Structure 1
């Protein structure tokens, strides 16, 4: 009897030991897999660069931390879906609200570039770009952690509540802030970054309706060799640069075209693509360009601004959108030029002189429109606006 009891205890001990050994093995195996993914996604490069750049504020989260932050990725925490992943609202240990993006499967080339792009985005600090706070690299497909922006997207503001009054100045301010963000990416980031998916649903708004450009899932580093091609055209239908669709070459001017579509959205509050419309009216950009060509701009403008704002200002913004939508990228302005133009227009609109001297203002803007429509050379593009601002500053 004692021998039987002893043998039973021995078997139990062996089972427990085998189970523990198995669990330890599986844990080590899981840890090895996590380390593999970490290295694969550029974790070592990230830490090397961050150790030499103490000013970078960036956190590498564990999978467990992000699971806890999002209530195990509860569907009720979903903020939205995109072509490159699902975004969840989360709350990290410091009681900071964040947006956690679980990316979709990436191919090998994308995995190679991921660490470098993530490092660059982690160092971008611009008031109109959603801040990348951290990442999780110990999973097969990496997760990104962004600052949480509470007021939804520009698309929601434009399309989901037509009863809400949005002044032209507010629309132009949002456009200007977005243009400043893209200009920063194109002209001041090193190396330059092409967003690749500029659209109203990728422009977030904070509590003060300040614009925050987001979603860099389609972004690329500007190719050093201009012959480098993107083999798979990606982006969003209705915003895609027609030149990019033909050449598969993504450039900063591709972002300019997409921004032009956003500008038309702000002017018209119409959807960028309408399958139910007649063939020639399915695309908002084509419909807009047709209205401009036939001098029927008022027919396509949002009633809120066409009735309450001067057509001279609306014509200026429309001319700028038209430039951005030029079929050839060479004929489009840079985002820096677009941002400068919008800034000047806002200053003119908000100055009391513009209301006190409407006829002279209309003459100035009318001359400017002629110059704009005759070319996009940076040397002469905005000479009239500069003259107007100079007049405002001198108090005339």
Structure 2
């Protein structure tokens, strides 16, 4: 046990003290903040920078719909700001006027032209001519204003007065979806989706990143012949276990810090956007108990151990990093294949594909956390999945240790598949 702890301490301390560990650990929250706050702020600034008073509205409806759209675009009747120019046309001169304005839009002297006619009133179709340099928000704001004005006219035609029609036109639908579990618990479906998908992707990335670190560590030790000195005082089994657990401890520290950063950022996202002048609804974080966190922790630890052992096997049988990049592809494809199953699991978390592959050890560390965030997973399935993953992780470590003993000291020759299996059987 003392030698194992010494190896764990060496692997853990060597990487935690690295400047690159500190840089990636503390840079990631800044990147998260930029992703959570940046896009809404940039979208808000882009929409605010659009000057809709320079837009031309071509009205061929004969019902003053163009004036109503210009009013909506300016903010309503009570707004005294500049309004878009409205050009009234008849069927006889419509094509000539539109062609002239199209030329101006193409020359970037006009940002946009909106054409409304009889088809707009009948079907709600608005023709928009947008210059190449106009922001996307221009289209969205013109379309929203035209939609409100068309709704106001149709409500007014139904017999309501103008003010009632305007009040009805302001109504917006906001669906609040509540996912009800079998045990009676409920939660916001969108939040659960983000949580489940985020946990699955995070575990996938961590397993890939730190499995690669194990691979590179074994390969570098083999190339530098350091393993020959280490194996003189430590058994291959202890060395492999210490390497996997030490690097896993680094992953836990970094993952814990990143998770805490994300939780703090999400909890304060609305406040941060508000400080920048952007209106945003606060995001309700899912309530996660310790009993719900325990399976996620188990899947991370067991999934990491299993894949780290497989990456260690690859590192021990190759003689260079170039060979390692090629030899690791079967292991990487197992992970990529698991990530490819995220879409079917998202669409139907209790479907046959999701249920089956969340029990298979190679894909369960990715898919089962996703299912736990989206649906009520039967306890029997959860226990079976964890048990199979634990047995697979143990088998991978035992096989890796047996192979590690012989392959780590071989140089210049990559063993065949038959030799690999023979070493695993005979080095018990």
Q: When the two structures are superposed, what TM-score results if normalisation uses the length of structure 2? A: 0.23
Q: When the two structures are superposed, what TM-score results if normalisation uses the length of structure 1? A: 0.24
- Pick the structure with greater CA Rg: 2
More helix by share: 2
More strand by share: 1
